[in-house]
Amino acid sequence: MTSVLDLAPVVPVVVIEDAADAVPLARALVAGGLPAIEVTLRTPAALDAIRAIAAEVPEAVVGAGTVIAPDHVDAAVSAGARFLVSPGWTDLLLDAMRGSGEPFLPGVSTVSEVVALLERGVSEMKFFPAQAAGGTAYLKSLAGPLPQARFCPTGGISLSSAPGYLALPNVGCVGGTWMLPADALAAKDWARVQSLAAQTAALRD
């Protein structure tokens, strides 16, 4: 794998509170047609969740999100993460992600951040928080002066707004949580998650 942006049109952004949920959740997403799964490093269970998915759901491509420090990079890759996503970046974090050997998406929300990454040889980025930072209109305005930059917008995107993002020439995929409603996760309703994942995967058509 060389690009996170080409894994799937939609990458579920997952917050896992209980590592025991990781495998059935990942299986439901994969069965619904969403094999790329971003597990955010926001909970104590996150690394164990990544480890379990990597070991038990080989059809999934599991990555780590909310990577904000070099030690996050090392821990996530050691756990089995196959891609890395950050909400923002610094030179130190960028060096660590690049040094991991895994594909990564550093987060940006301004033109200057995009230009700074292009200057450093990075052309694939996360646009976050997408809706709050200007949404499709903002990304469309970047395509003219910065056509070499490609994005995975994440933050506030829904099933209804995702197609607008995916239609843009500089968007490779979007990240979202709408296929993971809190009540379904609390009830461990994996069939519902699979159904919502299938509805989401249909966006590629």
Query: Active-site residue numbers?
Result: 38, 126
Element of type H or E holding 124: strand 124-127
CA torsion sign for 46, 26, 99, 91 is negative
DSSP 87: S
Characterize 57-94 residue by residue with b for buried, 16 or more Cβ atoms within 10 angstroms of its Cβ, and e for exposed: beebbbbbbbbbebebbebbbebbbbbbbbbebeeebb
Which tokens is 123 given? 């052309």
